[in-house]
Amino acid sequence: PQVDAATGRVTGIETLARWHHPDRGLIPPCEFLPALRQAGAMQALGARMMDQALGALSAWDGKGLSVPRIGVNFSTEELGDPDLAPRLDAAITRAGLTADRLVVEVLETVVAGGADETIVRNLSALAKMGCALDLDDFGTGHASITCIRRFSIGRIKIDRSFVAGIDHDPEQRAMVCAILTMADRLGLAALGEGVEAEGERRVL
């Protein structure tokens, strides 16, 4: 869940890939994603996540639950697919939703690393469709302000390494304050990742 720090209201949901293994239990993405990438299965995983995310949002709507938007992480492989925009448009329509309910999450390392033209075109097309664009793990990939503007980013997600311990570490607090000031001056929304302690929530 993504929560407004001032009101406590749920403003969105982020979709996360997890593997529930019958013997090993819950396996984190850092263990299974490299194997999927090596097998060329990242786009298949992305399509599965997208279908489940949009289906969940539609189901919540049907139950009268207020979840404004749902966020889905997109791999470099997916963003490099020339058919991404029309495929997403069709999936959103099938789910009976509108594009503004979908948040496309892009890793900072993708935009900071000089994205190829297909990725640039896809992100532009998704923004024109009405999808929101989030810059994920901000602070870890050296994205410039120029990159943020070029890719129509609407919100930065402050990496959890900056958020952890913000309630008792003055340096952490200063870093997050600087990021929030920058976001405010650029007219961007901001979201802190991985808030797990009441003290962290209170300081944010």
Per-residue pLDDT tens over the stretch 47-66: 899 999 999 999 999 999 99
How do residues 123-146 score in pLDDT, each as one tens digit?
Answer: 999 999 999 999 988 877 666 777
**Do 105 and 157 touch, CB atoms closer than 8 A?**
yes
Nearest-angstrom CA–CA distance, 51 and 179: 33
Q: Is the model's pLDDT at 113 over the cut of 70?
A: no
Residue with tokens 């979840």: 67
**Residue 12 amino acid letter:** G
What confidence tier does 115 reach under pLDDT thresholds 50, 70, 90? low
pLDDT at residue 54 in the model? 96
Tell me the percentage of the chain whose pLDDT exceeds 90: 66
Query: How far, in Å, CA of 126 to CA of 100, rounded?
Result: 10
Backbone torsions φ then ψ of 11, nearest 5 degrees: -105, -10
| pLDDT for res 141 | 66
Instruction: Please tell me the distance from the alpha carbon of residue 22 to that of residue 40, in angstroms, as a whole number.
Output: 24
Measured between its terminal Cα atoms, the distance across the chain in Å is 16
In this predicted structure, what is the pLDDT of residue 120?
86
Rounded distance between C-alpha atoms, residue 139 and residue 172, angstroms = 12
**How far apart, in whole angstroms, are the C-alpha atoms of residue 150 and residue 144?**
10
**DSSP states of 43-65:** HHHHHHHHHHHHHHHHHHHHTT-
Name the average pLDDT for the chain: 90
For residue 147, the model assigns a pLDDT of 76
Q: Is pLDDT of 114 > 70?
A: no
Whole-number Å distance between alpha carbons of 37 and 40: 5
Q: Any idea how long the chain is?
A: 204
pLDDT at 172: 92
d(CA 150, CA 58): 31
Q: What is the pLDDT of residues 86-110, one digit of tens each?
A: 999 999 999 999 999 999 998 877 7
Summary count for the chain: helices (H), strands (E): 10, 9
**pLDDT beyond 80 at 193:** yes
Question: pLDDT tens, 20-31?
Answer: 999 999 998 889
Query: CA-to-CA distance for 73 and 45, rounded, in angstroms?
Result: 11
